[in-house]
Amino acid sequence: MTLGLRTSEKEVQAEMLEVLRGLGWRFVPRSEMNALRGAARMNEAIVEPLLVEAIERLNPGLDEDAARQVAAEVRRISSDREMLDVLRRGVPYKPAPDRPTVNVLIVDSEDPSRNSYVVTEEFELRTGGQREPRLDVVCLVNGIPLGAIENKDTDEPLESAADDWRGYWVDAPQLVAQVALAGCCNGLQFRVGPSGLGDLAGYHEWSDAWPLSVDDPDDEMLVGLTGAFAPQALVDLAVNFVVFETREGVTSKRLARAHQHRAANKIVERVRAGKLNRGIVWHATGSGKSLTMVFAARKLLRIGLGNPFVIIVIDRTELDEQINETLTACEFDGVERAMSRKHLDELLSSDAGAVIVTTVQKFDASLSSRLERREVIAFVDEAHRTQFGKFGMWMRDALPNASLFGFTGTPIEVDGRSTRAAFSPRLDDGSYEPYLDRYGFDEAISDGATVPVIYEPRLAQWRLSRVDIDQRFDELTAHLGEAERDKLREQAARERVVAKAPERVAAVVDDVVQQLRDRIAVNNFAGMLVTVDREACALAAEELSKHLQPDEFAVVMSRSKRDSAPRPGQVDLRRWYPAVVWERVHGRKPEELGEATDGEIPAGGEDPDEFFASTDRAAIQDFVRRIKSESDPLKLLVVNSMLLTGFDAPPVQALFLDRGLRGHTLMQAISRTNRRYPGKDAGLVLDYWGVFDDLQDALREFASDDLTGLVEDSDALIGRFPQVLDEALAIVAGVPTGSPRKRMLWIVRHLTDHPDQAERFERLVREAQSLYDTLAPDPRLVPHVDRFTELMQIWYAWVRGNRRDQRGDTGLRHKVERLVQESVGMDRLRDDLPAATIDAEFLAALAEDDTLSPEEKATDIEAAVVHEIKVRGEDDPQARALAERLRELRRKRERQAQMTLEGLKEWEDLVREHLAETAQAQALGLDDAGAVAHAVLRRAAPTAEENQLLEVARAISDAYRSIAGFDGWSERPDVLSGLRRACVAALVKHPDTRRLASEQQVTDDLLAGLRTLDRTER
């Protein structure tokens, strides 16, 4: 959208409604909508006449009385789960005792053209509560408010809209059940989320207008409205793309992101069309492929395919557990998990359709053509693996006519292995379709679906890419016989020998511990140390035990049938089996977890002798649970090959890489760190091996375009850091030298007077803190630390001046606060920066403080007065009077060489007068509205009798409570007109105020003052 310097909320809303009308919504003005709802139904968000009419239309044979009964049932629904259920299945209705119950459709998601689509604005809910919601824009589907948007002007932060929604969920709980999509918009930014969300973090940008298109893809509002609020899209999202997810006993409502909605629908449409029965969903690792499968599977079961089988095929036990955990968490009923090959055979032989989760290894020749005649759709997770050997062949033989969709974040096209050849249809020109849907790393980062990943080379002298392997190999194996040395001469074996040199292991572990303590765990994040083999895991663990407590790290590696008591000088691998590590920490065996079963479990690697005891699996599951917990002391997992793929632990920020990974394994390992988590701005890959010295070679099987956004060099961030400092400090370049009080006052005044600069300053400070948080304690930051500390002191002065720190928000991250504490001291900062508010104790405390000069006391008073004006709002009569007297005192102060005791008294008198006015209003028994009116009247008619002023003020207060005392009234022209008429009527009743009734400035001042109460309540 084209914007000037500021676009008002009204203008934003007008443009929004124009877009929605263009998308097919019928606009009904507020007055007509209120008449349609009727006075008796103004407390309800569902518009009954529209719903009754739709029920009759969608259910032929149902008369109006029956439709009203069904509508009444819908109106009584208070649970969002129940509402979602009736949107999908209809409302159970028994027309007569002797007739069967039928499901009455209230929204048609199969043929959305049969629904009615009405949009309106300023939608009131007269609930009778202290705050009554007024929804800016409401999208009614068959009279149900499935979509609603809260708007702000372009100068207001989007958080204000999210705050309004948070209040609405409390003030009108019916909205939680009835609204599927809630939008937040300020004209520049547009975010959507499901109902019931708390803060803005739960909302996300809708980044794609698909299946429609827009002229300006950078216009967030236009894209979001077109992609998520077009009539058919809104119905589809409300019915098919909302889930309830329960994890760790906490249930959250989830709405699909744009790429999940797009990919799932492309799969559904391809299955429906029946022409091209396969395709690749190429989505960045960490962007929610499991949920995409859930959404697609759920919709496939609803589109009239009969009893289809939806088979989710994975290739690792960890992924089997993960996808089943996701399906269970999302309350997906009817999912069957194939526990064995025999169980899979039984499930595939069933007459009823189902959603089946299985590992690809359960397919073999015995299942040939098992589902030859059935509607089968297979989702193959991590489709770049295991599809080029016998298991992939047997899977296809068992499902010869299945629609095959490969999900991957790392498709392969190298050495005769082609993900496209395995899963893409051939096009008319003979080539393979590149992908059905793609969502790259850069898109995921831009949307906030994942965080960027930063790589950083560590310990140059120990990186394998920098070491003379042959020379070090000869040195380390000089004590061995020639036969033993010959066994180790193969390149990979020589690298392992060099990597496990005692002095190198000690150096790497020492750095890992330092980085973990100073950089990762300090923010309650965690890390993974990836080693070259099982012996390296044990060696690293032995070294880690010298630095960390037993419960601060864990080892995840397999056993081997060849493991035995070590020879002198060798490490005992048995000491670091997962179950043994667990028992050493807890003092009991993992069987007591209740998750272990008898027997051995193959490790699934290249060595057939490697395996896991069932107790190891139980211990590993507990390690995974603990590493995901912010409060648990476990902050480091030592691994060799496990958990590098299919492991989703958002608190994991750092990958300590001491193994020469390549290709898709490297890409998957990097992506372990890119999950979103509160306070986590970036993942980190700390490279001890030298993989990133030639990243292009390590990832040669991928085109360069495919890697955009995968990982960023920390050098780029180091280069960006001083640029951000320059830009931020330039905004406050005029801050004076001298006392912290004077500096704070200047900062508050400057940024308050220039809100555009304040917004940019806050954005740059957030970026600077994020960079410091990600990079510290990197020594390359040292040249910039003093300037960064200066910026943080200025930032804290801004926070302090706004009293945000009194609400527990210092605005400083943990590492940054520690830096400021070390360099200046937070206590000293708080003492130096005045943050008092004007009350009865303020002047008394100031007078008793002998440590402050008159200049400093005047500065404290000015800061308190500035804050009082800001809190009250510029239209508040007392605030305007304060501001006028403040300007006079500032002009006097500028002419004085120094602050005298006489000058200080004038500042103190300013506070005394303000307190006296406030006390007078309270003594007169006036509420806020009456106090505002009395202050305006006293200034407009200083000679009028006090009794007359009080009667007028009370009459205006009564009118305010009757006409306007609800949230958002000040933006309604009809309420403003009614309140103005009430003010005039009150003024003309008394001789001393009658003349004021004809002075528009007086009524303007009264309305302006009363409007500040609306902003305060909101």
Instruction: Calculate helix-pair angle for 258-273, 231-240, nearest 10 degrees.
Output: 90
Q: Quick: pLDDT tens for 892-940.
A: 666 666 656 666 666 566 666 666 666 666 667 788 788 888 888 988 8
For range 119-129, the mean pLDDT = 87
Of 158-167, 265-274, 545-554, 850-859, give the lowest mean pLDDT range.
850-859
Which of the residue ranges 465-469, 561-565, 852-856 has the most confident prediction, judged by mean pLDDT? 561-565
For range 727-733, the mean pLDDT = 90
Q: Quick: pLDDT tens for 58-98.
A: 999 899 999 999 999 999 999 999 999 999 999 999 888 88
Q: Quick: pLDDT tens for 182-236.
A: 999 998 899 999 999 988 888 999 999 999 999 999 999 999 999 999 999 999 9
Say which residue, 668 or 176, is predicted with more confidence: 176
For range 328-346, the mean pLDDT = 78
* CA-based nearest residue to 189, from 378, 3, 417: 3
Residues facing residue 245 across a β-bridge: 252
What residues have CB less than 8 Å from 594, skipping those under 6 apart? none
Residues facing residue 92 across a β-bridge: 103
Q: Quick: pLDDT tens for 448-503.
A: 888 888 888 888 777 765 555 555 556 555 655 666 655 555 655 667 777 888 88
For range 371-398, the mean pLDDT = 74
Are 876 and 917 in contact by the 8 Å Cβ rule? The answer is no
* pLDDT at site 825: 45
* pLDDT at site 224: 96
Residue 257 has pLDDT above 90, yes or no: yes
* pLDDT at site 646: 72
Average model confidence (pLDDT) across the chain: 81
Percent of the chain with pLDDT over 70: 76
Of 326-340, 523-537, 704-718, 798-812, give the lowest mean pLDDT range.
798-812
Which residue's structure tokens are 């998520």?
A: 228
* pLDDT at site 389: 60
Amino acid at residue number 959: A
**Where residue 352 falls among pLDDT bands split at 50, 70, 90?**
confident
Of 287-301, 670-684, 747-761, 814-828, give the lowest mean pLDDT range.
814-828
**Where residue 578 falls among pLDDT bands split at 50, 70, 90?**
very high
* pLDDT at site 303: 83
**Where residue 712 falls among pLDDT bands split at 50, 70, 90?**
confident
Q: Quick: pLDDT tens for 386-427.
A: 555 677 788 888 888 888 998 888 777 766 667 888 888 888
Residue 712 has a CB neighbour count (10 Å cut-off) of 14
Helix (H) and strand (E) counts in the chain: 40, 29
* pLDDT at site 985: 92
Largest CA distance in the chain: 117
Of 157-166, 221-230, 812-821, give the lowest mean pLDDT range.
812-821
* pLDDT at site 665: 80
Preceding omega of 100 cis (within 30 degrees of 0) = no
Separation of alpha carbons 982 and 972, rounded Å: 16
What is 908-936 written as a DSSP string? HHHHHHHHHHHHHHHHTT--HHHHHHHHH
Separation of alpha carbons 332 and 243, rounded Å: 9
Per-residue tokens: 608: 């057939």
Separation of alpha carbons 386 and 358, rounded Å: 14
